[in-house]
Structure 1
Amino acid sequence: MTTYIDFRSDTVTRPTPEMLNAMTAAQLGDDVYGDDPTVNAFEQKMAELSGFEAAMIVSSGTQSNLCALLSHCQRGEEYIVGQHYHTYLYEAGGAAALGGIVPQPIPVSADGSLAADAIKAVIKPNDQHFAMSKLISLENTHHGKVIPVEYFKAIRDLANEHQLSVHLDGARVFNALTELNIDLKQLCHYVDSISVCFSKGLGTPMGSVLCGSEAFISKARRWRKMLGGGMRQAGIIAAAMDYALDNHVAQLKNDHKRCQELSSKLQGINGVTVTACDTNMLYFKLADSFNPALVAQLLKAEGILISAGDEIRLVCHRDISDADVVYFAQSLEDILTIMSQVTAE
């Protein structure tokens, strides 16, 4: 099997031998019965880290967010969300399709946040003609951009003023915390629930955690079961997540550093314009004379995977090395140079 240098996403990371050892050594039980000691210990650990009363392991970030939305809102009620946020755009419309929850999407600001005035403008009055606004759904990071604690404090005040709850899709929240140099509890203080994904930069093969109050998590467990998410010997997953929490969080800064190095190298290549570089994500555009799909095909022939598009996203993760960054930049430059020469002829 060909081994590629894969910049498509941090979801492509694979468990390390040490993580696999932790998984096979885990004490197991039936989690639906509440009998898995590794799950129970890890959920308690995540509750304490986040400052919430309880936590629940689920198979994926999509399931975690869906359980959260279904627990916060009833049928015909509304959640306010960014039109490019994951809970609206990339989760197959689950909240609407399965829960009858009405999404109210609004534009995402350049910094990845939702403007407070834009949120306030769509909060519905208590009128029988409208869906009832119940929840604000946020993201951190968004497209790699880090949203500071001060923003969440302001949104908390707005939510309190209008009796709304706040959910945070924290799929890459540890990337945000790495840049903000704060702990999880400091951010969670301003939200009612958070979903944390471990299968991206933290490198587990699967798994997310939903954190919130005891009553909220109790309701979410019922939704998890209904969604087919009740797992049995889930301690295998919990052990991987626990290992990642203890060993991989501190290494995220290396991904961020490599992303900046990659940006620096790409800025020196003719025909490449870097449009954004935050945490572990870099976005760039090619000059109009280059076909992104062809460039991606030629890079694949050199052992490199990217996702082609008008704007190309590169994601640095724990399976990308310093040498991979150098090799990618040189390969891209060589390919664009050859393509330019062919076009000139």
Structure 2
Amino acid sequence: MIDLRSDTVTTPGDAMRHCMAQAEVGDDVYGEDPTVNRLETLCADMLGKKAALYCSSGTQSNLLALLSHCRRGDEYIVGQKAHTYRYEAGGAAVLGSIQPQPLDLEPDGTLDLEKVAQYIKPDDFHFAPTALLCLENTQGGKVLPMEYIEDARTFATARKLKFHLDGARIFNAAVKLNCPVTDITNHFDSVSVCLSKGLGAPVGSVLCASPELIQKARRWRKMLGGGMRQAGVLAAAGIYALENNIERLAMDHENATRLKEGLSDIQELDISPDSGQTNMVFVSTRGKGTGLSLFMKEKGILVSDEDDLRLVTHLDIGPEDIEKVIDVFKSFFSRSV
């Protein structure tokens, strides 16, 4: 199947599986798994931080960051469509008693800093103290401009806010900008990076930050049941991903651009103009997609919806797959006429 639903659907190749099978392991709760330790050191170094913590998922690593930056009753400011607010089951509020202040995102995926300033709470016992500003990069496949990130860092520092990045696809952003990933991550107090999306590992995210924050996060991870034992088998896949699967993200971006171009020829479809910056193409069928997902599945293609589709390229999809997807879309709408 050509699976366009997400870049989380990738499966480990033979080389990655070999690394997993050969991994040296120990008990990570005791800090004795050498492969986990190596992954954490590698990721911290790559992102320009002094410490890191291997987590079971991006949801967990983001939650650990929020719990470590904020106290009970604090507030964090975040985008309405940001993953940390919309897609992580309300964990910060439910488990941390941290109040979210969501704001509408701008078309380029940024938060308007003037609007953010209006929602920072005054030092008054009527309000939850604003403690943290969260961004996401990439946001809906869009890369945050570097000038904006620099301005946001200055903004957060001036207002004594901690600054967290949900960098699930941060390497997609760095590849798109053709810059070292540290050019982005150095502006943040903490960064979560996902290994199981475009990088192709089967499990895991890594939270990178200062040693002090990671020490807090490790305690929270234990409390949440996230302490793992011989996790080096999984960490080995993450090491392989970081060492082998970053530069090739450019191929996913090229495939997304080709997909956008091919689908743009179909009159029944509206393609988001911001699509194809990285590995995502957003498509609307304008209510004309009834039966589309079943038709695609019968042709060996999986999509997430029939009306508003997010089509995601990844390492299990090649140029020939993109051409087939375009042809099948054309076939469906030709049949519908």
Q: Give me the TM-score of the superposition, normalised by structure 2.
A: 0.98
CA contact (8 A) 1:293 1:308 kept: no
1:249 is paired with a residue of what secondary structure?
Answer: coil
Aligned-residue offset at 1:339: 1.1
Is residue 181 of structure 2 the alignment partner of residue 209 of structure 1? no
- Over residues 166-197 of structure 1, what are the superposed CA-to-partner deviations in whole Å (9 max), with x where a residue is unaligned? 00000000000001111222212111000000
Of the three residues 50, 56, 61, the one matched with 1:59 is 56
Deviation for aligned residue 1:148: 2.1
Residues in 2 aligned to 1:310 and 1:134: alpha-carbon distance in whole angstroms: 39
Provide the rounded CA distance (Å) in 1 between the counterparts of 2:138 and 2:12: 23
Conserved 8 A contact 2:291-2:306: no
- By how many angstroms is 1:87 displaced? 0.3
Cα deviations by residue, 1:242-275 (Å, 9 ceiling, x for unpaired): 1011111111000000000111111112312211
Counterpart among 73, 85, 90 of residue 87 in structure 2 = 90
Q: Which amino acid aligns with 2:59?
A: T
SS of 2:30's equivalent? coil
1:261 aligns with 2:255: no
* Misfit runs of 4+, over 6 Å: none
**1:297 and 2:294 equivalent?**
yes
Correspondence for 1:181: 178
Counterparts in 2 of 1:32-181, with a 5 A limit?
Answer: 32-181=29-178
* Deviation string, structure 1 residues 272-308 (Cα, Å, up to 9, x no partner): 22113120000111144x1x34111111111110011
The corresponding residue for 2:20 is 23
Is 1:307 the equivalent of 2:304?
A: yes
What are the Cα deviations for residues 60-106 of structure 1, in whole angstroms up to 9, with x where unaligned?
A: 00000000000000110000000100000000000000010000000
Which residue of 2 is the match for residue 286 of structure 1? 285
1:238-253 pair list within 5 angstroms = 238-253=235-250
CA distance in 2, matches of 1:179, 1:293: 35
Find the residue that maps to 1:194 and give its secondary structure.
Answer: strand
Say how many residue pairs are matched: 335
1:10 paired to 2:7: yes
Q: Distance in 1 between matches of 2:330 and 2:131?
A: 50
Partner of 2:335: 338
Using the aligned pairs only, state the percent identity: 49
SS in 1 for 2:165: strand
Conserved? CA contact 2:285–2:306, under 8 Å: no
Structure 1 position 309, deviation (Å): 4.5
Query: Deviation of residue 310 (structure 1)?
Result: 3.3
Which residue type is aligned with residue 186 of structure 1?
Answer: D
What runs of 5+ residues in structure 1 fail to find an aligned partner? 341-345
The 2-side partners of 1:49 and 1:248 are apart by: 14
Give runs of aligned pairs for residues 212-251 of structure 1, distance below 5 A.
Answer: 212-251=209-248
Deviation at 1:315, TM superposition (A): 0.3
Instruction: Please report how far the alpha carbon of residue 217 of structure 1 lies from its aligned counterpart in structure 2 after TM superposition.
Output: 0.1
The residue aligned with 1:343 is none
The 3-state SS of whatever aligns with 1:32 is: helix
Shift of 1:42: 1.6
TM-score (norm 1): 0.95
Find the aligned partners of 2:147 and 2:13 in 1 and give their Cα distance: 36
Change (3 A) 1:97 1:287: closer
Amino acid at match of 1:280: N
| Corresponding position: 1:323 with 2:320 | yes
Preserved CA contact (<8 Å) 1:78 1:133: yes
* CA offsets 1:146-181 (integer angstroms, 9 cap, x no match): 012221111111111111000000000000000111
